[in-house]
Structures are given as C-alpha cells and as structure tokens.
Structure 1
Amino acid sequence: MCGIFGTVNWPHDSPAYLRGSLLHRGPNEQRDWRQDNVYLFHARLAIQDLSPGGRQPMTYGIYTIIFNGEIYNHKQLRQRYNLSCQSSSDTETLLHLFVLLGLKMLDQLDGMFAFALYDTKAQTILLVRDRAGKKPLYVYQHNNQLAFSSELNALAAYLPLSVDDQALARYLRVGFLYGQQTPYCNVMELPAGHYAEIDCRTGTLAISSWWDITAFAQQVRPILETEALEQVDTCLRKAVNQRIDSSDLEVGVFLSGGIDSGLITAMAAQFKPGIRSFTVSFANGEYDEAPLARLVADRYQTKHKEVRLSFERLQDDIERIIAGYGEPFMDSSAIPSYYVAQAARKHLTVILNGDGADELFGGYRRYVPAARFDFNNFPSVVQRSADVLYRSLPYPTNKKSRYNFAYRMLDMARKSGLERYLSATTDVFENYTEAFYQPVPLADLAGALDRLRMSGLSSLQQMQVADFQTILPGNLLVKMDIATMAHSLEGRSPFLAKDLLELAPTLPDSLKIHSTTTKYLLRQLAKKYLPQKLIDQPKRGFEVPLKQWMDKQLKTVVCDYLAEPQLAQRYIRREFISKLINQPDKFPAEKRAKMLYSLFAMEVWYRKAVRND
C-alpha cells in the first residue's frame, strides 16, 4: 500500500509539501521521476519485497509505473506466464505482465490496486482502478493540464481548487459522493473497474470500463445450498490465506461482533495461530461489540485487544479525523475506525477486515423487502394507499423493531425508484427536503437505477449492484482506506477477492435472503466457525452512539461550527440549521443527530482542509 501522485503538462516542479501530504501513505521511502512533460511521485509503504528492488517509480523498457495496492496472485502469474523478474515485487510482475498481455492482464489480477503506467514511446498514461474500488484514484483536468493522486488532500495542497456546489448539495442529499463526483470542480474520481487513457501531448483523457459486476449478476445459476456453501468456504479461505501469505510483515484482523469479521478472524487464526485481533469498546452497552468479539477471540486464542474509545481524545481529535478524508464525510463510524487502526499500527502493518460481505451476500435489512416484493411494478393504487398509511403512523423509535421494519416497507412501497433507493440507504435528510434552498439534481443516479431496472436483474440484485457501485466505493471503502492509511496501516478485504466477486453475484436470491434472514449463506457457513450467539445477532459494524455524542460529548464543538456556518448555508436554510440546534424535540432523535453530524462534517472539512483555518 502506498501513495501515488502525477502531473501532465505542469510547468513547475512538485513542491516539497507534496511529500508531506502523502507521507502517511508511504513513510518508508519517497521517490519521483520526470521525463518530457510527465512527473510521477511515489510514497512507499513496503510490505512485499522490503528490499530496494521494490522501489518506485519502476521502469521496464519503455514503461514506467507508480503503483498503489497489492496483487495477491502475482507469484502464480509469474509461474503461469514464465516471467523473468529481478525482484519479488508485485509491481515488477505487473510491468512484465503488461508488456506480455497489455490491458488483458487486468482480468488475471486478484488484488486491490490503483496505478499509473507511462508509455514513453507513445507518450500516454494509463490510469487503472481495481474491480471494487479498494484503492482510490482522483484526477484533475483543466484545459490540457492534468494531475492525479491517491488522496484529494494532496491535490488540494498542490492545485488552486474551488468547491463544487452541486456535488456538495448531492453529498447532503444522498449521504456520500458517488460515481465520479468529488467536492472540487475539475476533479473526478476514476470509477471502480475503470481505466483512463491520457494523451500527454494533448492533455485529453478517455475513460473506459474493464469490469462490471452486472455481467456476473446476469448469470445466476441453479445450485444446491451445500455446493454453494462449499464453494464460498473454499474461495474465502483461499482469499484469507493469500492476504496473509503475501506480506513480509505481521498481519492482524479487525474483529467486530458480526459474522463477516468473525469468519475472517476464524479462518485467519487457522492459517496463523495467535494472530492479533482488534475491536472497539464503548461504555454505552447498546453499541459495545466487545463481548461478542471476545467470544471469537477466545475460541481461536487470538492476541486480542479491545480499544476503549476515550471521549476526551475524541474531542481533541475529531476535527483532524474529519479533515483527513479530503472530502465531507458523514459516516460517523469513521471515528472508531480511526482509533482501532491507530491501535493496530502499534503492533503490525497489515490488517484484514470484512468489507464487501454485505453487498455481495445480502447483509442489509433493506434487502429483505427487495427480495420479497417487486416494488418497481407496484400499481399506482398500492403506492397511494401505502403513502396514506405511512403518513398516519408515528416515526419508529427503535430501528431494530418489527414496527420499524413494517414502517420501512410502507415507505419503500410508496416511493419511486430513486426516492426508494435513497430512503432505503443513506438519505439523511429524508422527509426534510424542504431544508434545501432548491431541489438537488440527481438525474445521473436515477439513470443508473433505471439501467439496472432494465438489465433483467431481480429487485434484490438491483439493490445489491447499486450498493456495490455507489455506497461501497463511495463510502465504506473510502472510510477504511483513509482510517488505515492515516496510520500507515494497510487494510485488506478477503471478501473482495476476484473469485468471490465473480461467484457471489451468480448465487440465487434465496441463498442471500431466506424469508426474513439476511446473509443466509454466510450465516450457514458461520455455523462451522463461530459461536451460535454471534450468528443470531443482527448486523453489526463499528457503530457509534451518535445521539449521545451530539447531545453531550461533541455538543459544544458542533454548535460552535454550526452557529455561524461558512458552507452549509449555501445549501441548507439557516433557519433549519438553527432549529436543529435549538429545538431538538422537533425531530426524531437519531435523525437529528445524523443531520447535525453531516453538516458538522461539511463545515470541518471546508475550514480545515479547504481554507486551512
């Protein structure tokens, strides 16, 4: 795992502070390279091949590469294609493989990656991002000048950027920045499973897709549960083993109280007895995962550490944590993710996690109604009736109750495709759209959902694919990448292995949602590895007591930022912000906490990361 940066047609040298802006991603070594009108910079976190043989930028023939990520099957690829390399670095494998296969090599790679490959003869740069979007890559383009980087903050430190008001309004409306959107004008994120070709002579850029999960979701095949269980077990064990084996440094695991990280921990402990595991502990019992995580740690005798979140530290660190994302980021689980990564880095350099399991295997509660009803084809009379009934019912106070489930079902039944998807996912301002000064344009997201609706996929598949293409790369993977790399820690996700990405979408809906049981197949697999008490628990992640924080521990700093907002008032009415702060009884408590935090995160990002106050 590393940090990369590059420019095309830029007249001046890279400033010294560029090294500092990516130092946390690559503290071992920082090197650069310049030829013609191209500049490449690499910050190295050495994990595979710790010798000078793994140095970057790396040149082979007419090609020079800067690479961020890991190719877990690169040793097998060397053998398969009889590659003659001088080092044991996966970067060198990648270079040799490209010379042999060109872009066709991408189909062979099992890993996480974002890289830039310069062809000195053709004067072109190839930018590539992995299937799921594990590794980030942002691109600035204006006139014939381009720059690209692993982090937005590095671009913001180097370039005269201005904020994109439309993108920021979408952030508030949707809950995250999706697709190619970033908070800056002229800066886009290269989408997952895509590559871009840059003509360095003209400064033009063309983007193409090289992998799409939809194609696999369209190939659902009949399969016995026992056979599917065996295949998933085999693929996941292989993925865990590869992600442990392809590191020359110690590997650990993030362990929450859920099935996904529990399975990863169980398998990892079998391959590496005594592996270190880490979890977050809260004083608030409702959110404390430590007792469940301890069940797994005790069963597999891991070297377990519980990271107790200190509210005193949180008050000191919250602004730095938010600003580190380089964009407004409203997912409050970024906070415990930051602290557990910090604790892990004191002991090791590589950490495994359970990211991707929910999107691939049906882990969210919102998938249950999608599996049972085809909301896209509800008659209008049903939608109107559902709307009348929904409006007559009180807002649920317990999100885990049956009443909340029925309430959400009615909400989904009464809405159109776009509104339904937003409501079911991360729509923080749902039912409060009047807070915006003007409607937020979401035609691109609506169009993507319409294309999925016409693709022949089931309602459940449509929602899973939409989540895989939006929330996973736009929110969840961003969170883990920034949280881990802030401490020079590499996060690896076995569920996002090539084999599982190609297998899971082909499994029938009944193996994902069974009656009202989410993640059915993984729960069956968990019976082989995990305590029953953990299997019966609802989905967990690094959840936080956000309402308590907004009302107590973070109340002062949140109010200080929102009393005189510098950015949020461009999109949200001032009187609404004031009402959120001063009239808490006018809103459902959890809803209010999320809206406050989303606005607070935007303000902190703007003042600390953009204006450098």
Structure 2
Amino acid sequence: MCGIFGAINYSVKVPDERIFEGLWHRGPDQQGQINVNNVKLYHTRLAIQDLSISGQQPMEYNGLVIVFNGEIYNHMDLRIKYGLKANSNSDTLTILMMFELMGMKMLNEFDGMFAFAIYDTHNRRVYLARDRAGKKPLYIYARGGSYVFSSELNALYQVVRPEVDHASLSDYLYLGHHYRKSTPYLFVEELENGHFLKIDTLTGVADKTAWFRMEDHYMAEKELGYEDSIECLDELLLTSVKRRIESSDLDVGSFLSGGIDSGLVTAMGAQCSPKLKTFTVKMEGAFDESALAQKVADKYNTSHTVVEIDFSNLKDDVEKILVNHGEPNSDNSAIPSYYVAKEAKKHITVVLNGDGADELFGGYRRYVPFKNIDFFNTGHFTKISSKILTGILPVAHKKQSNYTYIYRLLKFASYSDIVKMYCSASSDLFVGYEDQFLVKPLMKGITEDLNRLNSYPISSLKKLLLMDFESMLFGRLLPKMDIATMAHSLEGRSPFLSKEVLEFAPGLADDFKIKGIRTKAILRDLSKRYLPAELITQPKRGFEIPLSKWVDGELKEIMDVYLLASDALYPSIIKRKFIEELITNKVRISVEKRAKILFCVFGLEVWYKNL
C-alpha cells in the first residue's frame, strides 16, 4: 500500500520532505518524486508486491508516468489474457501496459483496490481514478485550472491551506460523516468510488466519468435459484480470498471476530495459506466474541492472537486517533480499530477483513422491515401516527433490545422521505433537533440522490442496500478501516469487495438476503459449510463501544476542554446552549444518542484545533 500526491498547474511552496512526511505512514519503505512539464507527482511506498527496485514509483513506461496506491489482484491473469510481457511482476507496470493497450476501459478488467494518477505525456492529460467501492482515498483541490490531489487530507491541507466550509461541516454534524464527495474544505472534493477524472493539463479543463455504477447491478436481477446462488457465491468468494493472499509477497493474516463475515474469510484463507495468522479483539465492557473466534481458529489451526484492549491510554490517544482522519470523525469504533491494527502490525503487514458483507447481503436488523415495507414512500397517516407514538413512548436506551429496535423503527417511519435518506445509513444524530442549527444542513447531493434512487424499478430493500453502499460504506466504514490500518503501515484487504462479488451480490433476490427476520440468509447458509454452528446464528454486533460510559468517564475531562472552550468552532454552526445542556443531561434523549452527538461535536473540535 502507498501514499500518492500530485500537483497540476500549481506551484508547490512547501519542501518535498513535508509532503513525504505527511504520507510516510502509508509508505515507509521508499519515497519518490518527479516533475514533468507542469505536473508534479509524489509517491511513498509500502512494498508488498514485487519487493525489488522494479516496483518503485513514480514509474515511467513509454511516455506514461504513474503514482499508484493499491493492489490489482488479478493483474497477472490480465497479462496472460492480453499477451502482455515484462520482466517485472509489478501490478503498477501492468496498469501502464493495460492503459497503453485500451486506455481507461482497463478499469472494467481490474479486481482490486486502487487510487492512482497516470500522466499521459503524449496527450498532456492526467487521469485520476478510484476503485469500485472506494477502498483507497483520493482528495482533489481544484481551482482556476489548477489541481492538487492526495491520499491524505492532512497532507493536502499543508500545501494548499484551503478555507473551512461551514455549510459542509453543518452537513457533517447532521449526518455523522461527510456525504459522498464533500469534505470540510472549500474547493476540495473526494473523488467518488467508481469514478475517474480526466484533466487536460494545457487548458485545465476536467471531465469526470462514472466507470462503475452500483445501481446498474441492482437493476439486473440474477436468474439463479437459491442453491445455485450459494454455489456461485462460494466459488466467487473463494477466488477473491485466494487472489488477495497470493498477490502478496509477504505473509497475510485475517481479522477474526465471532461473526460469519470474517469467519468465512478466515476459513477460506486458511485453505490458501497454511498457519494463517488471525486476530480477535477482546474489550472490557463489550460482548466477548473471543471464545467464538477461538472455535474458528481451532477448526482451521490458525496462528491466533487475542488482542486485549483496556483503553488505559484512551485519554492520551484519542486526539491522535481522530486527527489521523484529516477531517471531523464521529465514528467511535475508529478507536478499537486503531488499537487492533496497531497490534496486528507487530505480526503481519497485510490483513484480510469482512468489510462490505453487511451492506451487500443485508446484515443489519434495520433491513428486515424494508423487505416488506417501502419506507421511502410511506403515507402521511403512517408518518403522523408514528410521530405521535414515539412522542409518548419512553425513550429507548438499551442498545440491543427489541424495544429499542421497535422504537427506532417507529421513529424512522415518522421521518420525511428526505430525512429517511439521511438516516438510511443509521446516522440520525440531529434528526429532531434541526432547530438547534444556526447554519442549516443543506445535504448537498442527497436530494438528487433520493429522487434518482426512488425512480429506480427496484425494491425498498435494494434501495436501502444501495444507499448504504454509496453512503455509509463509502463515507464511514471504509475510511475508518483505511485510516486505522494505514496509521500503522498495515494493508487491509476486503474479499467481499472484489469485482466479481460486487457484480454478483446486488442482483440476488431479496429473499436470498432477508428470510423472515433472518438477516444475511445466503451467507449464513454458506457458512454451514465452513463454520461452527454457534457462529451462524449470532446477531450482528460490530465493535460495541461503551461510549456513554466514556463520555461521562474516561473522556469527560478532555471533551469538556474542547466543547466548553470559548473559541470552539461549533457555536458558529449549532447553538452552544444545546450542547451545554447535553453535557449536563438536561435534554430528553437516549443515553446512546446523547453520547454520539457529543462525540460527533468533539470530533469536529479536535480536527479544527489541530489544523
């Protein structure tokens, strides 16, 4: 894995060493830089494939120059398919040879995770691209025909010093993360997943193309029966795991929880890699999945490590963890993700995970009612009655209870259709408290996305799965894992996000994903071939963080310093009195939601104070 940075028609004033320093954790093995015409390209390398000098970047080939962050897992297969020959086994070189052969149509052939910049010196054009899911980040500053791009917002900020975008920060507070291409800065956008940007370096004109559209696959239903679909999924996932292990010249490990996603990846990985190294998190105050994970480790004889996190250094580490993101971050599960990645790096450099399985196969409980009810188009009576009920019922506090589930469902049904879009990714922090905003959330792009999504001839469940893939997975979950792993120069690989699985899963019938109240049905049935029975019936948990305890305990002192500061940023966006009343427990609200709002605002302040 690597870090990339570049500038087009822009005079970089900071020393090269400053840029390399900002990207070093993404690529501590080698650093390189090149100036060609009005284009500057920088690269820091974490050597995993082709460890020799032939894999160094920036790489030049027949008038093409590339800086590449990621892995193309099927690149040697593509060399055979298209008769491409070279002395080096570098996947970076394969990209250049494929580009010379077919241009950006090559993207459709790649199974991988990537963000790259190719400079075609013959035509004086730069191409910036991202993979189908958006595993690898790429941020772009564009103004007046000049462009600066980077794997890291922190590195980009050091060079261009963009102004803070208060409207975007209002959206962040309302949603809990930045939606799609938005960032906390003016003139800076994130290149979206499945897109590439073509920049004419002479005129400064740029054209963006969506080369992969997830909705196309949701509208193309598979005709396979259930048993045949299980067989097909088994083959596709096994191929995906195998590629992600074999395309590394270093040992590959696996994150292993007590769930079926990481369990399947581990089981298949153990078939490809004897004595696979596996890692499980054990945290005080959370559900202990280590015993369930141990059953899988024992079954496949993996080299297993239980990472015990006691959060004894949480107060000292929390600012560093949040600052790594380069933008405000409200996802508190970034904290254990950081610690488990830190421990895993002591043993391996490449690790497999189960990211994407829930969003593709229906892994969350909130998907169940969408199987039968179109919540995106509920009637006026339903909204009013649901609003009345949630107004008189006791507030739900217990996170995993059935009452909380029903309460949240009623709450969801009471929202307007546009608010449902905001909340589809389980991000309803400030819903109901819109009157507390001084800068009203605009939710750039979401209204258009809702109208587009509702126009598709697909089920309510498919709409929600599609939205979660485009919003929650892209905007929260993948960045969280990327930042946590790359902070320790650890590469995370996600077999469920392979080319073939992404093209296969959306077209499956809703019944294959949700059966009655059973989530992720097809994965659970596939798991019967690989996993102990106890794991298959386990509910989705994720990292169960004792956030409400932290907010009033371990983190209270440091959060108060930020939230009660006279020069805090948030009072220019939301009312200070509301946050102060949350701190002193004077608002009728669930303990979990209170804690999440305070942590969300805390994330904003930590980011801003550390610019």
Same fold (TM over 0.5): yes
2:339 equivalent in structure 1: 339
Alpha-carbon separation, structure 1, partners of 2:312 and 2:54 = 44
Cα deviation per residue 1:536-586 (whole Å; 9 max; x = unaligned)?
111022231111111211111111111115211111211011111122674
Alpha-carbon separation, structure 2, partners of 1:541 and 1:73 = 30
1:578 equivalent in structure 2: 580
The 5 Å alignment of 1:167-566 reads: 167-284=168-285, 286-424=286-424, 425-442=426-443, 444-564=445-565, 566=568
Contact 2:167 2:440 in 1 (8 A): no
Of 579, 594, 598, the match for 2:600: 598
Alpha-carbon separation, structure 2, partners of 1:451 and 1:517 = 29
Which amino acid letter does the alignment assign opposite residue 283 of structure 1?
E
Cα deviation per residue 1:406-440 (whole Å; 9 max; x = unaligned)?
22332232222221233342121222222212431
Give how far 1:388 is off: 2.1
Identity level (%): 48
Give how far 1:303 is off: 1.4
Alpha-carbon separation, structure 2, partners of 1:449 and 1:168 = 21
Which amino acid letter does the alignment assign opposite residue 457 of structure 1?
I
Give how far 1:533 is off: 1.7
Moved more, 7-16 or 447-456: 7-16
Alpha-carbon separation, structure 2, partners of 1:585 and 1:413 = 23
The 5 Å alignment of 1:53-202 reads: 53-202=54-203
Which amino acid letter does the alignment assign opposite residue 159 of structure 1?
V
Residues paired across the two proteins, number: 608
Contact 1:364 1:539 in 2 (8 A): yes
Alpha-carbon separation, structure 1, partners of 2:176 and 2:14 = 34
Contact 1:73 1:111 in 2 (8 A): yes
Cα deviation per residue 1:136-169 (whole Å; 9 max; x = unaligned)?
1000012122100011011011112211111111
Moved more, 299-308 or 11-20: 11-20
Alpha-carbon separation, structure 2, partners of 1:12 and 1:66 = 17
Contact 1:411 1:420 in 2 (8 A): no
Which amino acid letter does the alignment assign opposite residue 370 of structure 2?
A
Alpha-carbon separation, structure 1, partners of 2:556 and 2:358 = 32
Contact 1:56 1:65 in 2 (8 A): yes
Alpha-carbon separation, structure 2, partners of 1:385 and 1:276 = 53
Cα deviation per residue 1:58-102 (whole Å; 9 max; x = unaligned)?
111121111110000001000011102120000001100110111
Contact 2:170 2:439 in 1 (8 A): no
Contact 2:422 2:446 in 1 (8 A): no
Alpha-carbon separation, structure 1, partners of 2:267 and 2:472 = 27
Contact 2:3 2:69 in 1 (8 A): yes
Moved over 6 A (4+): none
Classify 1:83/1:337 alpha carbon distance in 2 versus 1 (closer, same or farther; 3 Å): same
Alpha-carbon separation, structure 2, partners of 1:46 and 1:206 = 32
Cα deviation per residue 1:383-403 (whole Å; 9 max; x = unaligned)?
322222232212222232222
Which amino acid letter does the alignment assign opposite residue 460 of structure 2?
S
Alpha-carbon separation, structure 2, partners of 1:414 and 1:180 = 28
Tell me the secondary structure at the aligned position of residue 325 of structure 1. coil
Cα deviation per residue 1:476-499 (whole Å; 9 max; x = unaligned)?
010011100001110000000001
Alpha-carbon separation, structure 2, partners of 1:10 and 1:585 = 49
Tell me the secondary structure at the aligned position of residue 114 of structure 2. strand
Alpha-carbon separation, structure 2, partners of 1:421 and 1:369 = 16
Contact 1:257 1:540 in 2 (8 A): no
Moved more, 368-377 or 45-54: 368-377
Cα deviation per residue 1:183-202 (whole Å; 9 max; x = unaligned)?
11111000000000111112
**Structure 1: which 5+ runs fail to align?**
none
Which amino acid letter does the alignment assign opposite residue 598 of structure 1?
C
Contact 1:362 1:518 in 2 (8 A): yes
Cα deviation per residue 1:271-320 (whole Å; 9 max; x = unaligned)?
21211111221111x43332222222222222111222232221211100
Contact 2:430 2:597 in 1 (8 A): yes
Contact 2:331 2:476 in 1 (8 A): yes
Alpha-carbon separation, structure 1, partners of 2:463 and 2:318 = 36
Contact 1:328 1:601 in 2 (8 A): yes
Alpha-carbon separation, structure 1, partners of 2:423 and 2:136 = 28
Alpha-carbon separation, structure 2, partners of 1:350 and 1:14 = 32
Cα deviation per residue 1:196-229 (whole Å; 9 max; x = unaligned)?
0111112222211000010011011332211111
Give how far 1:366 is off: 1.4
Alpha-carbon separation, structure 2, partners of 1:29 and 1:205 = 31
Contact 2:3 2:27 in 1 (8 A): yes
Tell me the secondary structure at the aligned position of residue 355 of structure 2. coil
Alpha-carbon separation, structure 1, partners of 2:444 and 2:167 = 12
Alpha-carbon separation, structure 2, partners of 1:142 and 1:443 = 19
Contact 2:399 2:592 in 1 (8 A): no
Alpha-carbon separation, structure 2, partners of 1:12 and 1:371 = 52
Moved more, 531-540 or 593-602: 531-540
Tell me the secondary structure at the aligned position of residue 528 of structure 1. coil
Contact 1:549 1:555 in 2 (8 A): yes
Tell me the secondary structure at the aligned position of residue 365 of structure 2. coil
Which amino acid letter does the alignment assign opposite residue 573 of structure 1?
K
Alpha-carbon separation, structure 2, partners of 1:463 and 1:114 = 27
Alpha-carbon separation, structure 1, partners of 2:109 and 2:35 = 30
Which amino acid letter does the alignment assign opposite residue 538 of structure 1?
P
Alpha-carbon separation, structure 1, partners of 2:434 and 2:187 = 27
Tell me the secondary structure at the aligned position of residue 395 of structure 1. coil
Cα deviation per residue 1:331-386 (whole Å; 9 max; x = unaligned)?
01101111111111111110000000011101111111111102244332233222
Which amino acid letter does the alignment assign opposite residue 568 of structure 2?
Q
Of 555, 561, 570, the match for 1:568: 570
1:33 paired with 2:39, answer no
Classify 1:30/1:394 alpha carbon distance in 2 versus 1 (closer, same or farther; 3 Å): same
Alpha-carbon separation, structure 2, partners of 1:544 and 1:292 = 19
Which amino acid letter does the alignment assign opposite residue 486 of structure 1?
A
Give how far 1:255 is off: 1.2
Tell me the secondary structure at the aligned position of residue 528 of structure 2. helix
Alpha-carbon separation, structure 2, partners of 1:408 and 1:451 = 26
Cα deviation per residue 1:246-286 (whole Å; 9 max; x = unaligned)?
000010011122111111111111221211111221111x4
